[in-house]
Amino acid sequence: MLRTKLIASLKEGYSVENISRSKVWLSDEPIDLGGKDSGPTPTELLLSSLASCKLITMSMYANRKDWDFQGATIELTVGDKEEKTIIEKSIQFKGDLTEEQIERLTVISGRCPVVKMLSESIEFKLV
């Protein structure tokens, strides 16, 4: 299993420097919440991870099937948090795809590694 490592350090205010492999990026809170708006919020980063994983998984699947998948756009929105967090999803497909192919790709998007990781119970272990 591929291990992914991220190191995050709190900088000025609520700004967080994130490092993984050779990549460095900031996350932050908006100004109205006391941040400096120097990067996406943690929730926006999570949605980005989900959307990216879904798009890559659909593309890999369509490529293996040799379908005319020319890309897609996913919009994710976090709904109201009551008993359970709901993420609403909308997908616009590009390419000459049948309804069956679109339906299959939609199902496949829900089986990407990030969705699986978040859908299963996650255990945090202090090391």
Which is nearest to 56 in space by CA: 118, 112, 115, 117?
A: 112
In this prediction, residue 62 carries a pLDDT of 98
**Residue 46 and residue 31 share a domain:** no
Which range of residues forms the domain containing residue 106? 42-119
Does some domain include residue 126? no
**Residue 73 and residue 21 share a domain:** no
In this prediction, residue 1 carries a pLDDT of 59
Q: What is the pLDDT along the chain (127 residues), one digit of tens a residue?
A: 578 899 999 999 999 999 999 999 999 999 999 999 999 999 999 999 999 999 999 999 999 999 999 999 999 998 766 777 888 999 999 999 999 999 999 999 999 999 998 887 677 766 7
Q: What is the pTM of this model?
A: 0.86
**Residue 102 and residue 72 share a domain:** yes
Q: How many domains does the chain have?
A: 2
